[in-house]
Amino acid sequence: MRAALSLGLPGTTDAAILRALAPRLERLGFDSLWLNDVPGGDSLAGLRAVADVTDRLGLATGVIPLDRRPVEKLDVAGLPADRVTIGIGSGGARRPLALVAHGIADLRARTDAAIAVGALGPHMRRLAAEQADAVVLNWLTPTAARHAMDDLRRDAGERAGAVRGVLYVRTIVDGAARAALQREADRYGSFGSYAANFARLGVSPIEATIDRGALLASYDVVDEVVLRAITVGGTLAELEHFADEAARWRETA
């Protein structure tokens, strides 16, 4: 199975860059553009800008923390539901499973868009398997991703064919961004929940990243790979180069 290939960017990415880059991603055959919902950025607003300049490219948020942005405050108007995946997560909620379960139900009542759930641990993954359209996995090696997909299919049961496994992988396409990739890995390694996850897997954060094309095929164990683009400065030229190189990796894999 060959995974769909998508690109991930921060939700703080300037709308002008998104509008310039998105048609290129569509021409290159990328499945979707995922925008991380981070403080200071609005992933849904970014997706509206992308929707205006594309026809087929999937539009996704990865993921909106519901403790910071409750469903009732999300502006989903003006988005083409047939192309959209709204990714949600628990953030730092005290009752994460209940918050996300209610969030899924509330979103179902407001939109026909697909719903994805960001899940680091097995309990949230099971909730996603039972109620969502996709699970968003993060910071996994290919081996760990394969085990997570086995769990997803088991937990989904009869829904297994209807629940996609999506994996975010921090990625660079040239050596100039290696230091930025290491900083990103170190940053996540300092977060308690992620540190525990890395310890449970017995890997370092940098081992769950991609820094050369040959590694891409090893992630075909999931349904969709989102290459979270790590560049030196996040400029349009750097992101265009990233997209071109990643597309070439796929062609030659």
The confidence score (pLDDT) of residue 165 equals 98
Cis peptide before 100, with omega less than 30 degrees from 0? no
How long a stretch of residues is the chain? 253
Mean per-residue pLDDT, 188-195: 94
Token pair in block for residue 112: 């026909």
Question: What is the DSSP track for 41-59?
Answer: --HHHHHHHHHTT-SS-EE
Average pLDDT value for the chain? 96
Neighbouring-strand partners of residue 227: 7, 169
Show the CA angle centred on residue 179, arms to residues 28 and 191, nearest 5°.
95
Q: In this predicted model, what pLDDT tens digit does every residue of 219-242 receive, in sequence order?
A: 999 999 999 999 999 999 999 999
Distance between CA atoms of residues 58 and 6, nearest Å: 9
Q: In this predicted model, what pLDDT tens digit does every residue of 34-63 receive, in sequence order?
A: 999 999 999 999 999 999 999 999 999 999
Token pair in block for residue 193: 């929940």
The confidence score (pLDDT) of residue 1 equals 78
Is the domain covering 4-252 a CATH 3.40.50.720 domain? Answer: no
Q: What is the pTM of this model?
A: 0.97
